[in-house]
Structure 1
Amino acid sequence: MALDPPTMLTLSIALAAAAALYLAIEWRSIREPSLAFWSAGFATIAVGSTLALLRSSGLLLVGIWFANGLLVIAHGCFLLGVARFTNARLSRAWLLIIVIWLALLLLPDEPSWSKIMLLANSLLVALLTLRASFLLRPHGRSLSVGAVQLRYVLLIHGVFYLIKALTAVIPGTLIDLAAFRGEIIQISLVEGVMAIMLIALSMTGTERYRREKRIERLAARDPLTTLYNRRALDVRAPRLLEDVSPARPAALLLIDIDNFKLVNDLYGHTAGDRLLVTLSEMIRSLLPDGALAARLGGDEFVILLSNTSSEHIAALGSALREQFHHSAAQTFATPQAVTLSIGASLFDQPPASLAALIEQGDAALYASKRGGRNSIRLVDRTLASSEAQQ
């Protein structure tokens, strides 16, 4: 199959349409805005390439000016998609590109027209593409493989159009947009097909990685409170517990809501859910750096602290109990106070397992409830405490 201009444009139409359809299906599934912009970009390329075929029929205004304008708009969609993907804000000054392109209509129809049109079109595409690549640069953290690939594909694509713009003004170069003549145009058509494939693959890989990470995060979170669930705690706790030593003691706090059933019975389970969310937000706001918090189930929560002390545990427990009791009393009137009971275990040696540690916290929690509720019971299992008791 000869790589003549009509064939290359036909390939571009097929590839761009396929990419647009695939990204549109992905967008419909997960509603990620960047996918919608990227899909629109490829759809615009498919339409623009179709219109470019019309120039061989003498429809130069549609086949050249409008087709090339759609190419600029397509790369603008790519830039908007990258901006949404990276949560970046774009200046309204980018709208001037539309004004610049409309101004090209005023160009006189003379031999230099093709070069000026190619120069302006290439510079605008290069500007949009290089800006998109710049937005994808790492911000102190690694990007996904797909995002890194997309960044460099856009960078190379933008540099190509920059070189294309420079070569368009070299004296003696043949450029005839109406007849697809000139080495620059021939090379550009080949590069366009390759760019469509690579950009489409990079974009789909980028969003697939983000979707997998989102699913992974959702699987690790309690759907109501968004704190870690028990499974996520089992995965993350060993890293915290392996650093425990006499110089860096750790602690587990097991938290249970007193008289939680009264809220459900008097106000309904929706009210009970709101109370659980309130407690989770308090825990999150008071949680120190390096700590873990999770909802074990029902109205039971757990906090793992690293490099802590009995004084810190007491202060954290008191702050939680006071804030929660004040909030619950203001929101729900119940025959008995809705408060917190906390069982805490302070230790300076790595425990046999997280399950064993939770059992110790559960014993302290039971002692707290048996002692009248709305209290914290701390069991100090550190070596210093054992020596002090001897």
Structure 2
Amino acid sequence: MLNPDTLLLVQICVTLLTTALLVASACYTDSPPEQRWWAAGNVAASAGMVMCNMESLPALLGSILGYGVIAFGLGLVLRGLRVYCSSTLSWTNIAIITGIALIISAYYTLVAPSLRARLCFSGFYFGLLNWFCAAAILRRRGWRVSGIAAGGFLLLGLALFLRGMHMLTQSGPADAASSLIIGLSALVVPLAQMCIAFGLILMVMWRYAERLRRLSTLDALTGALNRAGLEMQGKRTGLRAQRGGRSLAVIMIDVDYFKVINDTYGHPVGDEVLRHLARLLRLELRPHDLLARFGGEEFVLVLDGVDHAQALSVAERLRARIEYEMVELDKLSVRYTASMGVACSDQHDYDLIRLISAGDAAMYQAKRAGRNRVMAG
């Protein structure tokens, strides 16, 4: 038989350990806000659990305020999860979550005193709040990252809900079956808490890893792929097109007289020209196409399933649009043009390096021919 005192001690130790882990992970300057909400919520919930289990405290503190502090802590955790999912939970809603716990526990403590009813309510209510936390994570999808934390919240909510159901249906003295149910729920709670703590930390680690990946593969100024990102994703795009028997086209784009623009209007205007060009090029992208900043003012489009004639048509449409558009910054209006070179796998196979080299040669041919034109490699 599971010893209730031992299980309670294990639950307290695990609660303290997971809370300390979340607090330690949030105690640095650049920690994300959701991590601080999770840590604060766990501290509050742990404090409320201590208050509820201290029999020496007055009823106002242990039997009423303790439940409110636990609910407040779960509200903070839910707010952190909503922030992680690019949303939020207002303080009004947190106050409502806390107020419900205070009112119901006060009713069953002062108006109609009943420990059993109070425990039933806490099991149902706190189980429901944990399910709300799981739902907030599951809306974001991404099972590989958030599945552990979502599973922990679901498991904890289930354990608390079953405990509440057991207290509701139990009418006589505790028997072996009821003791087993209480013992199993007390065993499940710390396991679920560990899943939640490590799952939340894993979610933050994944987000930092994703930021590092973006920093290593994206150009900071334009948001296009950089050389490393183009090399990594371009190989996959080429292989996918080759296996599917589709053409692969490359369009090299270079801003004409870019140094003159920088010298005449300043580098901020030159940067805005590059951002503007990236936005125009992005309008041509389909889901499997790539846009990369290849050099200072040089960009490359990798088009999957586009043959030579179609690539020339796309490049000419882009050239005309660039010539027509105007860049505006700080009351300055600047027009610019671009020269383009087109290469296709129909002539140069699927080797991305060869395609870029051929497209680059065609682009410089367009420069020598007078700029603001499209040439084929």
TM range (shorter): 0.7 to 0.9
Deviations 1:242-282 (A, max 9, x none): 22389622211111000111111011111111110110111
CA distance in 2, matches of 1:212, 1:190: 33
Amino acid paired to 1:43: V
Amino acid paired to 2:234: A
What TM-score do the two structures reach when normalised by structure 2?
0.85
Amino acid paired to 1:46: S
CA distance in 1, matches of 2:370, 2:347: 31
**Map of 1:168-179 to 2, 5 A cutoff?**
168-172=167-171
Corresponding residue for residue 36 of structure 1: 36
Amino acid paired to 1:72: A
Query: Are residue 360 (structure 1) and residue 362 (structure 2) matched?
Result: no
Amino acid paired to 2:81: V
Offset at 1:130?
Answer: 1.3
Match for residue 345 of structure 1 among 343, 346, 368: 343
Corresponding residue for residue 148 of structure 2: 149
The DSSP-based 3-state class of the residue aligned with 1:168 is helix
**Map of 1:316-355 to 2, 5 A cutoff?**
316-328=314-326, 338-348=336-346, 351=349, 353-355=351-353
Amino acid paired to 2:202: G
Deviations 1:351-385 (A, max 9, x none): 37322222111110111011110000023xxxxxx
The DSSP-based 3-state class of the residue aligned with 2:143 is coil
**Map of 1:202-351 to 2, 5 A cutoff?**
202-242=199-239, 243-244=241-242, 248-328=246-326, 338-348=336-346, 351=349
The DSSP-based 3-state class of the residue aligned with 1:103 is helix
CA distance in 1, matches of 2:356, 2:299: 11
The DSSP-based 3-state class of the residue aligned with 1:21 is helix
Question: What stretches of structure 1 of length at least 5 have no aligned partner?
Answer: 176-181, 380-390
**Residues 4, 183 of structure 2: 8 Å contact kept:** no
State the identity %: 25
**Residues 245, 350 of structure 1: 8 Å contact kept:** no
Computed over aligned residues only, the root mean square deviation of the Cα atoms, in angstroms, reads 3.2
More moved, 3-12 vs 237-246: 3-12
CA distance in 2, matches of 1:10, 1:155: 20
CA distance in 2, matches of 1:237, 1:306: 10
Amino acid paired to 1:29: D
Query: Are residue 137 (structure 1) and residue 138 (structure 2) matched?
Result: yes
**Residues 82, 136 of structure 2: 8 Å contact kept:** yes
CA distance in 2, matches of 1:79, 1:189: 23
**Residues 23, 40 of structure 2: 8 Å contact kept:** no
Alpha-carbon distance change, 305 to 17 in structure 1, aligned in 2, over 3 angstroms: closer
Query: Are residue 98 (structure 1) and residue 101 (structure 2) matched?
Result: no
CA distance in 2, matches of 1:56, 1:284: 65
The DSSP-based 3-state class of the residue aligned with 1:169 is helix
Offset at 1:159?
Answer: 0.6
- The count of aligned residue pairs is 366
**Residues 78, 89 of structure 2: 8 Å contact kept:** no
CA distance in 2, matches of 1:102, 1:369: 75
Amino acid paired to 1:281: R
Amino acid paired to 2:23: L
Amino acid paired to 1:162: F
Offset at 1:298?
Answer: 0.2
Deviations 1:203-256 (A, max 9, x none): 111211222122112211011111011111111112222223896222111110
Offset at 1:56?
Answer: 2.7
